[in-house]
Amino acid sequence: MSCCGGGAMAPNSIETITTSPFEGQKPGTSGLRKPVGTFQQPHYSENFIQAGLIAGLGDKLVGSSLAVGGDGRFFCKEAAQLIIKMAAANGVSRIVIGQNGILSTPACSHIIRKYKLDGGFILTASHNPGGPKGDFGIKYNISNGGPAPEGITDKIYKITQTISEYKIVPNLKVDISHKGTTSHKIAGATLTVEVVDSVTDYVEFMKEIFNFSKIKEYVKSKNILLNAMNGVTGPYLQKIFVKEMGLPSDSCLNCEVLPDFGGRHPDPNLTYASDLVDIMKQGKHDFAAAFDGDGDRNMILGHKAFFVTPCDSLAVLAGNLQCIPYFQKHGVKGFARSMPTSEAVDKVAEKNGKECFEVPTGWKFFGNLMDAGKINLCGEESFGTGSDHIREKDGIWAALAWLSVLAHKNKSVEEVLMEHWEIYGRNFFSRYDYENVSAEAGAKLMEGLDKLIQDPKTRGMTFSDPTGKSYRMQYLDNFEYTDPIDGSVSKNQGIRFLFEEGSRIIYRLSGTGSSGATIRIYVEGYEKSENPQFYKEDAQDFLKPLITIAVRTSKLKELTGRDQPTVIT
Ligand code: G16
């Protein structure tokens, strides 16, 4: 691989660099995620960025505008500078970038929309650990502010398979450590780079969506904890909850944005945010929320660490959107969830005469429905909740939405959930993750399940656990989705076992890992009872027979040698 320019370089001259393809640059559920070392290889990031620029912007590339922002993890600054140099060489005329290259994923989505940009690059591997030995990621978002749909990610991948050159302005130096606008002459054209404060636009937007004074009044009378897990949300939490709402600074934990997230796994769930869970168990706090590395995921806890599953969180918010000024103003047309997410939100939709859509895993599948005005709220079991205010899921938005509901009802988190279950019944839900199994074992497990689908005997079959609890199979398939707006078809989106009486087992391979395979098993059972005490049953106890059946039917132990999952949510 070499530079074909030759000779002395003029300042800001465009170079065309010869390159060759790298294997495996296929974007996963949300962008390309690989170990940092992989991205640091000469030409690796460049190839992917060039493919993103061509596939994402097409004919619009020359003269286009882009947002750039990342979660502050190791290699973010270098990647941001690289994107500026390559965008400049490819004729991009305007870049809006967060100070020091930092923007939460929701803030970046908002900036694309607010400044009417043509697209953006988000530099994050989300909840995956960071640091020199951790993961990095690059994601291309389109002009609606959302992750590129499959049509574009497929195109990106195709380009990476045949790429032979990329363009760069190697000498271009842009100071992204100070706010302000600079202009740069690139081969007769001008590139404007606007370095914006990372939190201001987002916080102003939250103030338009929510009733800050009502939330402020409420949080002042309660003990609240917010955990940034040393990811990007720290400065946003401090601005909103400490500066705007007057909470003590120790109500926001781990707010320093660290390139390795302080060595932690910045995934807000019961396993990786166990420090928050332990504090909440002491019973001194009424509400807590935790957020992931790039700020799009959230976990909600109540008094004594009462855990709200993301599926229930979505359903509760769906049932209470009238508490939030944004929805009072814009109304509510419908909801959507990813296929493995429990059907709790469907019940809210049904009772309230709203439409509810089931899409494959991946926030990108919600974009068309939002753009078409069909849905206003959506969520996923993977700790993602959000609305049509942007086109990414939004962790802090979810916490503010929950606080709005609590302030409106003046009830505890647990009371809100009990009230919800008494109206709609409870969809007990759990996800078992088997992380880092071999790719071969993961593929074999899915092949085995696919064979079951093909076998006509499986439908109507009864599955029992050793205690004799049995479930009759009503329907099974490998989920396929036809986008109702553009007609695009996405196949092989996960194996679904749908049993009578609303129980479900879903199997998928994760699309966000950076090596090997992660098997996800999602289990759900529904009950409606006259006795409210029934809803207090532990989900693991309720779901045990289904979990046993799910593990046994998939031959998981035989194929992976794993006895236990790495994470249970
Ligand atoms: C991403 C996507 C989500 C998806 C999640 C899990 O979240 O944006 O839509 O639900 O991954 O995907 P998988 O089950 O394939 O690992 P994030 O927060 O990692 O960007």
pLDDT of residue 10: 62
Rounded Cα–Cα distance for residues 90 and 123 (Å): 19
Q: Which atom of ligand 1 is nearest to the CA of 363?
A: 9
Residue at which a domain ends, from 165, 198, 231: 198
Contact (Cβ atoms closer than 8 angstroms) between residue 91 and residue 144: no
For ligand 1, whether the C-beta of 297 sits within 6 Å is: yes
Closest CA to 28 of 478, 386, 517: 517
| Burial of 189: CB neighbours in 10 Å, binned 0-12, 13-18, 19+ | middle
pLDDT digits (tens, 9 = 90+) for 18-38: 999 999 999 988 899 999 999
Spatial distance between the Cα atoms of 261 and 294, rounded to a whole number of angstroms: 11
CB 146 within 8 A of CB 276: no
Mark whether 66 and 192 lie in a shared domain: yes
Contact 298 CB / ligand 1 (< 6 Å): no
State the pLDDT at residue 6. 40
Q: Residue 192's pLDDT is what?
A: 97
- The domain boundary, picked from 157, 177, 198, lies at 198
Residue at 5 is within a domain: no
- Give pLDDT tens digits for 421-471: 999 999 999 999 999 999 999 999 999 999 989 888 888 888 888 888 889
Q: How far apart are CA 241 and CA 356, in angstroms?
A: 33
Number of folded domains in the chain?
A: 3
Give the CA distances from residue 86 to residues 80, 101, 137, 184, 550, in Å, rounded to whole numbers and listed in that order.
10, 15, 17, 13, 48
pLDDT, mean over the chain: 94
Closest CA relative to residue 467, chosen from 552, 405, 393, 539: 552
93 and 222 Cβ atoms separated by less than 8 Å: no
pLDDT of residue 461: 85
Q: DSSP character for 188?
A: T
Do 377 and 406 lie in a common domain? yes
Q: Which residues of the chain have pLDDT under 70?
A: 1-10, 514
Does residue 2 sit within a domain? no
Residue 135's pLDDT is: 94
Specify the pLDDT at position 310.
97
| pTM of the predicted protein model | 0.92
Same domain, 503 and 465: yes
Distance 128 CA to ligand 1 centre (A): 11
Q: Do residue 389 and residue 259 come from a single domain? A: yes
Strands 15-18 and 165-168, how do they pair?
Answer: antiparallel
Question: The CATH number of the domain where 275 resides is what?
Answer: 3.40.120.10
Residues 412 and 550 in one domain: no
How high is the pLDDT of residue 7? 44
Residue with tokens 């596939």: 55
Domain membership of residue 301 as a residue range = 201-424
Same domain for 310 and 405, yes or no, is yes
- The pLDDT, as a whole number, for residue 107 is 98
Tokens of 404: 């709005």
- Distance between first and last Cα of the chain: 46
The residue whose C-alpha atom lies closest to atom 2 belonging to ligand 1 is: 362
| pLDDT of 377 | 98
Contact 218, 407 (CB under 8 A): yes
* Tokens 């236990």, located at residue: 564
The pLDDT assigned to 9 comes to: 56
| Phi and psi, residue 306, nearest 5° | -60, 120
Q: How does pLDDT run across 277-306, given as a tens digit for each residue? A: 999 999 999 999 999 999 999 999 999 999
Residues 143, 212 share a domain: no
Catalytic residues, which ones? 126
Q: Is 345 a member of any domain?
A: yes
Nearest-angstrom CA–CA distance, 193 and 209: 29
The response to whether residue 376 sits with its C-beta less than 6 Å from ligand 1 reads: no
H/E stretch holding 166: strand 165-168
- For residue 381, which atom of ligand 1 is closest to its CA? 10
Q: What is the pLDDT of residue 460?
A: 84
